[in-house]
Amino acid sequence: MTGRLFVIGTGPGNPDQMTPEARQAVEAAREFFGYFPYIDRLNLRPDQIKVASDNREELNRAEAALKRAADGIDVCVVSGGDPGVFAMAAAVCEAIDAGPDEWKTVDLTVVPGVTAMLAVAARIGAPLGHDFCAISLSDNLKPWEIIEKRLRMVSEAGLVVALYNPISKARPWQLGRAFEILRETLPATTPVIFGRAAGRPDERMLVMALGEAEAERADMATCVVIGSPETRVISRPGLPDLVYTPRFLEEPTR
Amino acid sequence: MTGRLFVIGTGPGNPDQMTPEARQAVEAAREFFGYFPYIDRLNLRPDQIKVASDNREELNRAEAALKRAADGIDVCVVSGGDPGVFAMAAAVCEAIDAGPDEWKTVDLTVVPGVTAMLAVAARIGAPLGHDFCAISLSDNLKPWEIIEKRLRMVSEAGLVVALYNPISKARPWQLGRAFEILRETLPATTPVIFGRAAGRPDERMLVMALGEAEAERADMATCVVIGSPETRVISRPGLPDLVYTPRFLEEPTR
């Protein structure tokens, strides 16, 4: 018998946005593998052990967790948001695929969560109300040319675009370049949402037109959502603007 | 003072996948607007009133809820999954945009949830571990030509595709046609996941190769996820296959 290996998402950070299923996995596990700030959201018991590591060492962390589970320990791998969206579930699967045969028999449970773009969308209205895509802007894991090609094709296809990992100290120019590419296809009035830390005390929501969008408004905790040509802004007296994408589309986009 | 209007998602159907935040909104509201099967998941108190309606009358339902909120009643609009993904949050915003000015001052809170593709992905591994998109296959709300164009572009762009509303009695041929279009671009070995009722007692997960994928395997409760050329299947002794899309992409897709 192996131990259990749970891969959970904490949700966007507000404890009330983490599912009871994820909470139960936390209660059942003994050792926790993940990036410090995510594990610190969990209020572990004194008998629970956190094995923290650098956020960039995802594969190593997955391997360490699998090794412990194969040894019979119940372990929990912790992501922010949803573990299946640019997060640890894929790293755990990669490690199983490339690792020793015994890792394939580990009792694995992936627990879904609320991913950042859904939390941002909810705070601002319904920008993901029609077809949309999620693209990671990190060129650590794929060539930048691929990212440019994808941005061109999805904006031409009329999809709303949620950008994960938009900017970091090591990747300062990519978001600005992404805005340039999207401006080639989309109207300058297209709403851009900078959704920072949705649901947390330091939340900050900002809506700008694509023509004026500045990469400096984003940081590592930001999910950037770029509307489609159909996305609309509703002004409300005394309340923040609402941004939404209608469910219907009458005419070909272009 | 208006009443509060909450727009919530119940998650995929397993009560443990509904967030505490959504549960609190349910407790705070007095009248509930939504499709019967979703409201029935909530175990309402005797003093709470459910105002059910046909699932296709989304705009009417949003208007009815806004009218009651403007009258000072705390109301809750209920979707399955996440309310912002092909669901009621966009309908409520459409109604606010087109409705009387007083609806713009209604105290609106959209509460995010776990949407179907995340629940399906978690049950099967990590197929959404890289760039992906969500497309509704319903041509009730947009022309079929637009859907075909989008399927071509996102598969050429190398995104994993999650199809919502894949099939119904009134729309029997669209999913088969979508598979045909995707076969023009993607390898016949590309994994296709038919994820039905993820997390519920009647859950059924099925993985087929795109070359053999049959539309009849889907029903209205199914979310269909089609891999990218990078998506891989891991065979495990005595356990279901895992399907995942690696986080990294070394070479241009084609």
* Calpha distance A111→A145 (Å, rounded): 33
CB contact (8 A) between residue A90 and residue B245: yes
- Written as six digits, the tokens of B224 are 């269909």
CB contact (8 A) between residue A94 and residue B246: yes
* pLDDT tens digits for range A133-184: 999 999 998 999 999 999 999 999 999 999 999 999 999 999 999 999 999 9
Contact yes or no for A166/A218 (Cβ under 8 A):
yes
CB contact (8 A) between residue B118 and residue A110: no
Residues of chain B with pLDDT under 70: 53-56, 251-254
Q: Give the nearest partner residue to B125 out of A19, A93, A115, using CB atoms.
A: A93
Q: How high is the pLDDT of residue B254?
A: 42
Burial tier of A56 (Cβ tally within 10 Å: 0-12, 13-18, 19+): exposed
Q: Which residues of chain B have a CB within 8 Å of the CB of A239? A: 104-105
Q: How high is the pLDDT of residue A253?
A: 45
Q: Which residues of chain B have a CB within 8 Å of the CB of A118? A: 82, 84-85, 112-113, 115
Q: How high is the pLDDT of residue A57?
A: 87
Strand-by-strand arrangement of the B232-236 sheet: B125-126, B239-244, B232-236
Contact yes or no for A247/B141 (Cβ under 8 A):
yes
* pLDDT tens digits for range B101-114: 999 999 999 999 99
Q: What is the DSSP string of chain A?
A: -PPEEEEEE-BSS-GGGS-HHHHHHHHH-SEEEEEHHHHGGG---TT-EEEEE-TT-HHHHHHHHHHHHHTT--EEEEESB-TTSSSHHHHHHHHHHHS-GGGGGSEEEE-----HHHHHHHHHEETTSSSEEEEE--TTSS-HHHHHHHHHHHHHTT-EEEEES--BTTB-SHHHHHHHHHHHHS-TT-EEEEEESTTSTT-EEEEEEGGG--GGG--TTEEEEE--TT-EEEEETTEEEEEE--S---S---
**Cβ atoms within 10 A of the Cβ of A180, count?**
12
- Residue by residue, what is the 3-state secondary structure of chain B? CCCEEEEEECECCCHHHCCHHHHHHHHHCCEEEEEHHHHHHHCCCCCCEEEEECCCCHHHHHHHHHHHHHCCCCEEEEECECCCCCCHHHHHHHHHHHCCHHHHHCEEEECCCCCHHHHHHHHHEECCCCCEEEEECCCCCCCHHHHHHHHHHHHHCCCEEEEECCCECCECCHHHHHHHHHHHHCCCCCEEEEEECCCCCCCEEEEEEHHHCCHHHCCCCEEEEECCCCCEEEEECCEEEEEECCCCCCCCCC
pLDDT over threshold 50, residue A43: yes
* pLDDT tens digits for range A193-237: 999 999 899 999 999 999 999 999 999 999 999 999 999 999 999
Q: Which residues of chain A have a CB within 8 Å of the CB of B12? A: 112
Q: How high is the pLDDT of residue B36?
A: 86
CB contact (8 A) between residue B133 and residue A130: no
* pLDDT tens digits for range A71-113: 999 999 999 999 999 999 999 999 999 999 999 999 999 999 9
Rg (chain B; Cα; Å): 20
Q: How high is the pLDDT of residue B57?
A: 87
CA distance B34 to chain A (A): 17
CB contact (8 A) between residue A154 and residue B159: yes
CA distance A128 to chain B (A): 6
Q: Which residues of chain A have a CB within 8 Å of the CB of B82? A: 114, 118, 122
CB contact (8 A) between residue A113 and residue B113: no
